[in-house]
Amino acid sequence: MPETEPITAPIYYSSEYLHGVDEKRRLLIPSKWRPEGECLFTLIVWPAGGLKEACLLGLPQQIWADLVKKVTQMPFSDPTADSLRRLLGRKSDTVSLDRSGRICIPEGMATAVAIDKQVKLVGLLDRFQIWSPERLAAISAVDESLSNEAFKLI
């Protein structure tokens, strides 16, 4: 009988977590958000303009690969697509989990999104965000004001 690969449950990024950030900018990723084996995430400063509402968007490998495929299929002659490629290239970096389940946030990214001693990790189902607690508090009021309309989408 042929061997079958074990079935692994998909990872869904849900809930909200408050975590400390150490002096090397390392933070613990919740255990239920970590797949088995080696794990890479791509972090993007989001929105990429470095606005006061910016956070880090954490993408698992497959979601990042899908995004890269979509962007690389855009015409080279389109200046907006070129701008998007430059923004994503400059404002993203790949990080890996260490043996303790932590990632290290690159210094420029931490500065761009005002991350210092603590972060809030917010699940977005197929991806997650990393916020400074103060910035998340400010954007949460917007989320609450849109909640009735947002839930109508489902």
pLDDT tens-digit map of 67-123 = 999 999 999 999 999 999 999 999 999 999 999 999 999 999 999 999 999 999 999
What structural domains and CATH numbers belong to the chain? 36-147 (3.40.1550.20)
Residue 80 DSSP class = H
The Cα angle at residue 60 between residues 24 and 33, in degrees rounded to 5: 75
- Side chain identity at residue 65, one-letter code: A
Give the residue-averaged pLDDT of 136-154: 90
Give the residue-averaged pLDDT of 21-44: 94
Residues 7 and 110: beta-carbon distance below 8 Å: no
Q: How many CA atoms lie within 13 A of 75 on its CB side?
A: 4
Residues 41 and 30: beta-carbon distance below 8 Å: no
